[in-house]
Amino acid sequence: MSAIERITSVVPPLLFADGRQPALTAHRTLLVTRRPVCPCLLVGPLVGAAQLDNVRELVADATARGARVVVGGEQLGRPGHFLAPTVIADVPPDAALLHEEIFGPVAPVVAVEDEDDAVRRANATPYGLAAYVYTAEMARALRVMRRLETGMVGINQGTISSAAAPFGGLNSGIGREGGAEGIDEYLATQCAAFEHGGDPCST
pLDDT digits (tens, 9 = 90+) for 11-50: 455 555 555 555 555 555 545 444 555 555 667 788 899 9
For the stretch 72-131, pLDDT in tens is 888 888 788 889 888 898 899 899 988 888 889 898 888 888 899 989 988 988 888 889
* pLDDT higher than threshold 70 for residue 173: yes
Which CATH homologous superfamily contains domain 7-111?
Aldehyde Dehydrogenase; Chain A, domain 2 (3.40.309.10)
Rounded CA separation 202/49 (Å): 58
Enumerate residues 6+ apart whose C-beta is below 8 A from 86.
28, 59, 69, 71, 72, 73, 104, 105, 106, 107
pLDDT at residue 201, as a whole number = 54
Q: Where are the domains of the chain?
A: 7-111
pLDDT at residue 35, as a whole number = 52
pLDDT band at 1, cuts 50/70/90?
very low
**What single-letter amino acid sits at 11?**
V
Q: Which residue has the higher pLDDT, 201 or 153?
A: 153
Looking at every residue in the chain, the average pLDDT score rounds to 79
Rounded CA separation 99/82 (Å): 23
- The pTM for the full model equals 0.71
Rounded CA separation 69/87 (Å): 6
What are the C-alpha distances in Å from 148 to residues 35, 170, 175, 182? 37, 10, 18, 22
pLDDT at residue 144, as a whole number = 94
* pLDDT higher than threshold 60 for residue 7: no
pLDDT at residue 2, as a whole number = 33
* pLDDT higher than threshold 90 for residue 51: yes
